[in-house]
Amino acid sequence: MAIRFLLFALILTVVGCSKEKSDTYSAYKVHPITHQLQLLDSLNREILPEKDLKVTKTVTYNSKEETVLLEEINWKKELGFLSEFKPEKIFRAKAVDSTIEKLNSGFEKRTYIVTDTSYFNLRKFVVELKGDRITHIGAEISDENILYHTEKVIELDFDPESKRLRNYFYFEEKDMSLRGINEYSIKASINK
């Protein structure tokens, strides 16, 4: 009996040690596009712009607009809106239908429609590629309960040569049953 227990413990230890350590790698195995998306999500230096750049950012809240120039950027805070954009979970759950459209000049557009909207807030996302490099990502997120209904749009533009983020856009419309509709948006471009 003790030998069986030791053998069982040894097998569990070996199996546990052989699991993949890197989520980035496992996501890449699920779908190659999620590899670059996870790099962005983890705020990897490979995706974010070089240092010493400036961001011109326009923030709008219920038609009130303000433009600022950021010289020191906390990327984790600045791109915090990406926390709800997790396409790798949808690929793992196989809860997505996709179409591929060939565009002119070597571009390709992949549209992903989420089929399980009861579990996932992400409804649709579009990825445009030039070769194997992402040039644009667009996403639509929807969330609702008894108190509110929220619609969000995320747009990210990348330089196809350097793979670095160049522009980003975030829009949120929240319809709260007690307060009415609020709109919030961020539009930013990264300048040299």
- Encode pLDDT of 170-190 as tens digits: 999 999 888 889 999 999 998
91 — phi, psi (to 5°)?
A: -65, -40
Average of pLDDT values for 90-117? 84
Q: What pLDDT is attached to residue 16?
A: 43
**CB-side neighbour CA atoms (13 Å) of 58:** 9
pLDDT band at 59 (very low <50, low <70, confident <90, very high): very high
The residue assigned the tokens 């639509």 is: 140
Cβ 20 vs Cβ 136: under 8 Å: no
Q: Return mean pLDDT, the chain.
A: 76
Report the SS3 class of residue 91. helix
pTM equals 0.74
**In this model, does residue 118 exceed pLDDT 50?**
yes
Q: Which residue has the higher pLDDT, 28 or 131?
A: 131
Cβ 137 vs Cβ 148: under 8 Å: no
pLDDT band at 164 (very low <50, low <70, confident <90, very high): confident
pLDDT digits (tens, 9 = 90+) for 90-103: 777 777 888 888 98
Nearest to 167 by CA among 190, 191, 140, 185: 190
C-alpha–C-alpha distance, residues 127 and 33, integer Å: 8
Q: What pLDDT is attached to residue 87?
A: 78
